[in-house]
Amino acid sequence: MASGRTTRGLLRSEYNQDQLAIARGRSGITILSLFVGLFAILFTIVRKHRSAAIDAAITLRLQRRRHPVFNRLMHIVSWPGFPPQSRILPPALAGALLAFGFKLEALFQLLAWGSGGISFFFKVIMQRSRPGPDFPEIRIAVARIGGTSFPSGHVLNYIGVYGFLTYLAHTWIHPRLIRRTVVALLGCLLALVGPSRVYLGHHWFTDVTASYLLGFSWLMAFTSVYRRIKRWQVDSWRTRDR
């Protein structure tokens, strides 16, 4: 009971009630359908081996950028997605939310980590090889990677974990400067993880594009479920407080 009061107190004093999760980020079924449809088209193209030329061309073009700062940035962006940090950061984020008394958000933040299961499912079906000896001109950064290439597990995990965290920041944080700063930083992480996977030679362009389409489709559905439960939770609080 005390924990519930603490959470409600934080909601009232630290966050803008008008920006609760039930009031923002409503996704449209049209966008969701479009993303799923585009993924299906891309899946078919890759399945029929019709993307090799464009994939290789994009990788080589991106790898021509050899500025030390850009190179370092690409490595930094991919770093959270490698073990052991990839197994520590997601539950740590959920734990931090729980420590502040946000039980529902902590649960959903942990469940958001499950987006990696989508990657595993399609990897088993596609069985696509990563960039390798067939393209000796492509540089491949040394890293702990394994398995197949399509889709990108990094991108799907980032959209699940950090995408949902971005959603929470956008809908919950009241101070405008802090909200915009946090959302911008997380948004940059999401936007750059795809190019970083291609630049490092760990994935093809179509791998990361497919993951963006799948990931954002999943995130829209996931946040929709969260909003419904959040609405029920807030309504129950209001009923008890009357």
Measured distance CA(56)–CA(140) in Å, rounded: 13
Q: Is residue 228 part of a domain?
A: yes
In a structure prediction context, what are the per-residue pLDDT tens digits for the chain, which is 242 residues long?
A: 444 544 444 444 444 444 444 444 454 678 888 999 999 999 999 999 999 999 999 999 999 998 999 999 999 999 999 999 999 999 999 999 999 999 999 999 999 998 888 988 999 999 999 998 888 899 999 888 878 899 999 999 999 999 999 999 999 898 999 999 999 999 999 999 999 999 999 999 999 999 999 999 999 999 989 988 988 887 777 777 66
Query: Is 9 within a domain?
Result: no
User: Is 165 a member of any domain?
Assistant: yes
15: in domain: no
Each residue of 19-44: b (16+ CB within 10 Å) or e? Answer: bbbbeebebeeeebeebeebbeebbe
Asked if the structure places residue 11 within a domain, the reply is no
Residue 16 lies in a domain: no
Tell me what pLDDT residue 88 has: 96
The domain in which residue 121 lies consists of: 25-241
- For the chain, the domain total comes to 1
**How many alpha carbons lie under 13 Å from residue 26 in its C-beta half-sphere?**
6
In a domain, 4, yes or no: no
Encoded tokens for 187? 């948004």
Instruction: Tell me whether residue 2 is in a domain.
Output: no
